[in-house]
Every structure is written in C-alpha cells, then in structure tokens.
Amino acid sequence: MGKQEKIVSMFNDISGKYDIANRVLSMGIDKSWRNKACKLAFDFYGKNRIEKIADVACGTGDMIDFWLKIAKQNRIEVENIVGIDPSVGMMDVAKKKLPEVEFIEAGAANMPLESESTDIISISYGIRNVVQRQEAFYEFARVLKTNGLVVISEFTKNEKNSPIDYLTDFYMNKILPTLGGMITKNKEAYTYLPNSIDEFLTTDNLCKELKEAGLEPIYTKAFSMNISTLIIARKV
C-alpha cells in the first residue's frame, strides 16, 4: 500500500468520529477559521453569482456547510457546489449531513472536472495529506476559471520563536494524539497529524509552489497563535 492509500485508509477508519474529534481538539476555533476563509474569498472574488465551488479533500463536508451558509448570509447565489475526496468513509458522513450536495470520489491531483469550469477551489486542512501536491496545484489551475481563487486553510510549519510556539508544539505533539486517540479509538491517526505538520512546508514554500502552477497568492495570514494559516491565490 502506497503512502496516499495509507492516508485514505486511516481517514476511512476515523470517519465516524472525525467531526466530534475536530471540534474538541480545536476547541471549536476551527469554525472561526473556516468562517474567515469563506468571507474573505467571497470579498476577493466580488461576484453575487458563482457558477461552481469545488471543495477538495472535503472530508465530512464541514467547509461546504460554511460556503453555503455564508453565501446565503451575503445573498450570493452559488449554482453548484461539489465535494471531492478519495475517502468514501468520510464522504458517507458528508452525504448524510448534506444530501443535496454532489460528492465525487477522487484525489486532488486528478479531478473529474472540466477545464476552466470552477470559480473557487477550497482545501481545508487537507493539502498536507496530498502526496502529489505540485501536481494538485497544476490541476487546480486547469480546473479554475481565469481570476478564479484557491482557498487553502492549513496547519503550517512555523519557526519556534516564543513560549507560545512551544506551548502550541506541546499541545500538537503530546495532548492532541492522546485526546484524538481516545475519541476515535485510533491514536495512530492523531499521531500522524502533528507529524504531518512537522514534515510539511512553510507558508513561503507553499506560496512558491502555487506560483509555479500559475496561482498567485493574494492573501496569507496566520491565526490563533500561528496554528492555522489561510492562503488565498488567484489564477493568473
């Protein structure tokens, strides 16, 4: 089994308890991160009618829920929204929550979407799980319309410069695996999470990879003691 298959299998295993684990482990703050990402993306895009949003590595559909809710609050018409994920287990949970949404089993680097068909692509806390990351960015560029946006929320690797950085590190490496393991009965999955962040890129390198694919970063900001970073890039 390759690395990507192992990651998908792990998410299939924890899918039933994933939502509750997320809420507990982020202390609910992930909701504000997602909220901010959607609002800023709609502001940057500046249109009241959006043909298509694709949420990649959609998991249990959390981000799709936010897109729909914030579009409604801002009177933005979203004609079509699709969720894409290689984990069938995660999408089964999403389908129960959002029966009106179309979900497609596929990886980020090979999406069954037409070229230049999509206004916004989002990927929330999933890009570090994509083994073929640069290929995925080229795929995003193919699928997006000109001036379309990529909205990435991710736990990024940061230099440890302050006591708060060390506190965050202690939480991610010691407390999170134990708590996540207790909730989902799969400690391995929640040991993988901090390890995957440590192995992951810095924000600067991620921006370089986006530029390489023709996606120009227009907004980057770290939230909540640098735990979560939001990057919005425009297809040029």
Which residue in the block uniquely carries the two structure tokens 């982020």? 26
Q: Which two tokens stand for residue 32?
A: 């504000």
Is 184 annotated in some ligand binding site? no
Query: Which of 83, 42, 213 has its CA nearest to residue 144?
Result: 213
Residue 232 has, within 13 A of its CA and on its CB side, a CA count of: 19
Alpha-carbon span 9 to 52, nearest angstrom:
29
Is 65 annotated in some ligand binding site? no
Alpha-carbon span 184 to 90, nearest angstrom:
13
Is 168 annotated in some ligand binding site? no
> Which residue type, as a one-letter code, is found at position 220?
T
Query: Which of 89, 102, 88 has its CA nearest to residue 16?
Result: 89
Q: Which two tokens stand for residue 117?
A: 């068909």
Binding-site residue set? 60, 85, 124
Binding-site residue set for S-adenosyl-L-methionine? 60, 85, 124
